[in-house]
Structure 1
Amino acid sequence: MHHQEPGQQADDERRLTTREAAELLGVKPETVYAYVSRGRLGSRRTPGGRGSTFDAGEVRALARSNRRDSAAAAASGQELAVRTGLTLIESDRYYYRGVDAVELAARHRYEEVAEWLWTGQLRPGVAFTAPESSVAAARRAVNALPEHAGPADRLRVAAIAAAVADPLRFDLSADAVLGTARVLIPTLVAALPPVRDDGHDQDPIAHRLWTRLSGRPADEPTLHALDTALSLLVDHDLAASTLAVRVAASARAHAYAAVSAGLGVIEGPLHGAAGGLAHRMLLEVLDVGSAAPVVAEELRSGRRIPGLGHRLYPGEDPRAGALFALLEDIPRAAPALAAARDIQATAARHTPLHANVDLALAVLTVSSGMPSTAPETVFAVARTAGWIAHALEEYGERPLRMRPSGLYSGPRPPHPLPE
């Protein structure tokens, strides 16, 4: 057996520079450091130098692992598999960076949960504030929209206006993108037309959002429920809107544009509309006094009953369970809560589905006197933090990797020019 004499020179021969490791992995140098921060690659500082070195065998093993992951995704029929260290959904639970998301939301405000997702660090008491120039530009743009504009319209226009007001928007370094995130979220909320005028720029995001959604005075238990809803909805793996954000970030669109891509997708009826449909159904059940005729009409029309079932949770949606538990302690939520239970029990005769977060969010918005567009607004503001987290990850990957090949199915050329 060959024995290697200990010594720095022999050790260095087996080690690669950051550039060499990046070339072997087919990624940017920034991504090599991202692998290190996620624990997927070890590094060692160069003695007396400023750079890091990497074990050649470990780098080759990681390259092989990445290739196997891509091949496995192709073999399983998946059109796209994206490695992410943000959210894991497993066994009717979900986790932000390995921490139970429900427990995190129960103990920390939305801003703190967002920071955890972005940086892997908790910043107790962190507050998000926006410069007046950003808010003013966003408000002017939103106020120019027709009165019937929906929340996704308003938020997308606000994001674009805030982008134009930010000359540093094209800086895609992590620190710059984090700065954008901490400004963009409060700007989006501030740009929405206020229903009440008792909010302050120093309030938590949930408090500021309340004044945009409800004309009622806010009580602490309901504000806590709204803040928890925001935290529970921050991220949920690769939903359609999140994939759109990553495609934009892959093309190196700035963070405002990436968020705008996500907002464009949630406006589709198959993604962002479920909460509003559940809200309107709850109102109808409360008006009629029973879920039976309302559920019957939904089924007769061939529609799915909104607010029930989730393809990622065979059992209960943990987000719904957490929100319902808070709503049970709010007396004015009792009628809407009873209506939601009536809907679930009635539908169970047809199909045994658990309530999902859309139904729980609808109970919160109905009992708070909010409009039927409120669930979509809450979802969009909450998910903006997750979109930024995914954009940050994608900026560390190889540019334009979200470029699938088209399978052409049209007529084979050459064809004559049309007359």
Structure 2
Amino acid sequence: MKDQEAPGDSPGATAAQRLSTRETADRLGVKPETVYAYVSRGQLSSRRSPGGRGSTFDAAEVDALARRTGRRDPSPTADPVFRTGITLIESDRYYFRGVDATELARRYGYEEVAEWLWTGDLRPGIRFTAPDEALAAARRAVDALPAHSGSTDRLRVAVIAAATTDPLRFDLSREAVLASTRTLIPTLVEALPLAGGRSSTSDVATGNEAALARRLWPKLTARPADEPSIAALDTALVLLIDHDLAASTLAARVAASAHAHPYAVVSAGLGVLEGPLHGAASGLAHRMLTEVLERGSAVPVVADHLRTGRRVPGLGHRLYVAEDPRARTLFDLLADIPQAAGALAAARDVVTTTARHAPLHANVDLALAVLSVSSGMSAEAGETVFAVSRTAGWIAHALEEYGERPLRMRPTGHYGGPRPPQPLPTVRGEPLR
């Protein structure tokens, strides 16, 4: 496995100066969909990449188009670009350190892939364990929260509680950071309350000897675990470990740039993840699928979304032209689970119905919704899976950032307020003294 690692640099222009769709979009400062719009209008020519997957573009032609359109990157509106050797997304596929992430997810468990992503060493059967002191502190903190608290509320509190039990958390050496992370992730899982108000987990092994997916399952649903469902949950955990510089990952890197300890890095990521446009998006898809099943068709549900100007949840992704590979992988597994048939059919109905209005494909949020709806989980279950999984990715990025120049992510504001000097403010109605 280590022999398959790729350098952290983006491939950039290949021989003969060919660019991938993602690189072309970055250079033009547009979305990948806009690149193909340029092709359809004859403003840009493309060539199928070797193997027939995706397209490549002539770098000189791209630069000429950038000059004509004035969209040359970098520009004030262009996305920031940071060098990373963790995840590459191109041609509707994504890779962890050069290895197809979906293949990793099909073959290995979450803890194995996380360990490999951090260290380059594949350790079959590795288990992360929660120390007694950290787990006790995290459970006390979580139990003290109001009953209506969400899972991300509980995870944020658990992170803070676990941090207080680790006096070595300010040691930012690679070994110390990874030691803390290997205990933090299972602490987060074990600190969550059981689903359905149960007092035991007799239906599934949940000790430190069990895989993380097995320990997480009873926190998400009161239904007994079966092997295909555990496999689907474990695969989802692997698929979500990282996805380049998503909003929460950027927040985590900003924290690491300030040399915040790993618990603070995870806290920064969790704070952003809770947004409805990021980690919480699967909850919207969950509620939509539930409504589709109740009404018997996606047509009225999609129509309601379009009529009110809302986006249809679980569809489209700015980094993929076709179906999100994470969704495709999860759908393949869910197709073999009998109890998922109804939710899976509802998801396909949503995609087909929406295609009449816009050519949008399923993303991972829709696949997570199928898993959560078919397993009797709550609407926020997908967000919980996302948060637990992405913790490993945030730490991988923190390790990279700790090696960079500190505080390098310090943008300069473009001030648009009143020019000085201005008079001192006064209380309204009182005369100047």
TM over 0.5: yes
| Percent identity of paired positions between Structure 1 and Structure 2 | 71
- Does the CA contact (< 8 Å) of 1:87 and 1:94 recur in 2? yes
Residue among 261, 271, 275 paired with 2:278: 271
The residue identity in structure 1 corresponding to 2:201 is D
The residue identity in structure 2 corresponding to 1:242 is T
1:312 matched residue in structure 2? 319
Superposed counterparts of 1:131-280, under 5 Å:
131-195=131-195, 197-198=201-202, 199-280=206-287
What TM-score does the superposition give when structure 1 sets the normalisation length? 0.82
1:55 matched residue in structure 2? none
Equivalent position SS for 1:268:
coil
- In structure 1, what is the Cα distance between the partners aligned to 2:270 and 2:150? 11
Deviations 1:249-283 (A, max 9, x none): 00011000010000000112221221000011111
- In structure 1, what is the Cα distance between the partners aligned to 2:253 and 2:278? 17
In the TM superposition, residue 74 of structure 1 has moved relative to its aligned partner by 3.7
- Does the CA contact (< 8 Å) of 2:169 and 2:180 recur in 1? yes
The residue identity in structure 1 corresponding to 2:120 is G
Deviations 1:164-203 (A, max 9, x none): 1111100000000000110110000011001352322221
Distance 1:268 1:372, change over 3 A: same
- In structure 2, what is the Cα distance between the partners aligned to 1:409 and 1:358? 38
Deviations 1:311-349 (A, max 9, x none): 100011000010000011111110111111111111111
Deviations 1:338-393 (A, max 9, x none): 11111111111111111111111110111111111100000000101100100111
The residue identity in structure 1 corresponding to 2:188 is L
- Does the CA contact (< 8 Å) of 2:8 and 2:97 recur in 1? no
Unaligned runs of 5+ in 2: 1-5, 10-71, 427-433
Over 6 Å off, 4+ runs? none
Superposed counterparts of 1:65-104, under 5 Å:
74-75=74-75, 77-78=77-78, 80-104=80-104
In the TM superposition, residue 210 of structure 1 has moved relative to its aligned partner by 0.1
The residue identity in structure 2 corresponding to 1:329 is D
- In structure 1, what is the Cα distance between the partners aligned to 2:315 and 2:75? 32
In the TM superposition, residue 73 of structure 1 has moved relative to its aligned partner by 5.9
Deviations 1:151-176 (A, max 9, x none): 11110110010001111100000000
Cα RMSD, aligned residues only = 1.5
- Does the CA contact (< 8 Å) of 2:335 and 2:341 recur in 1? yes
The residue identity in structure 2 corresponding to 1:96 is F
Larger Rg computed on CA atoms: 1
Residue among 354, 361, 364 paired with 2:371: 364
- In structure 2, what is the Cα distance between the partners aligned to 1:39 and 1:343? 38
Superposed counterparts of 1:293-304, under 5 Å:
293-304=300-311
The residue identity in structure 1 corresponding to 2:211 is P
Distance 1:352 1:160, change over 3 A: same
The residue identity in structure 2 corresponding to 1:186 is P
- In structure 2, what is the Cα distance between the partners aligned to 1:270 and 1:322? 22
The reply to whether residue 123 of structure 1 matches residue 116 of structure 2 is no
- In structure 2, what is the Cα distance between the partners aligned to 1:197 and 1:264? 30
The residue identity in structure 2 corresponding to 1:343 is V
Unaligned runs of 5+ in 1: 1-36, 41-71
The reply to whether residue 409 of structure 1 matches residue 413 of structure 2 is no
- In structure 1, what is the Cα distance between the partners aligned to 2:395 and 2:415? 33
Segment drifting more, 190-199 vs 137-146: 190-199
- Does the CA contact (< 8 Å) of 2:220 and 2:381 recur in 1? yes
**What is the count of residue pairs matched by the alignment?**
352
- Does the CA contact (< 8 Å) of 1:73 and 1:80 recur in 2? no
- In structure 2, what is the Cα distance between the partners aligned to 1:192 and 1:394? 30
Equivalent position SS for 1:89:
strand
In the TM superposition, residue 76 of structure 1 has moved relative to its aligned partner by 7.7
In the TM superposition, residue 80 of structure 1 has moved relative to its aligned partner by 2.3
The reply to whether residue 379 of structure 1 matches residue 379 of structure 2 is no
- In structure 2, what is the Cα distance between the partners aligned to 1:38 and 1:309? 30
- In structure 2, what is the Cα distance between the partners aligned to 1:124 and 1:79? 38
- Does the CA contact (< 8 Å) of 2:127 and 2:211 recur in 1? yes
Equivalent position SS for 2:166:
coil
Equivalent position SS for 2:370:
helix
- In structure 2, what is the Cα distance between the partners aligned to 1:304 and 1:117? 34
Equivalent position SS for 1:385:
helix
The residue identity in structure 2 corresponding to 1:267 is E
Distance 1:145 1:293, change over 3 A: same
Distance 1:330 1:407, change over 3 A: same
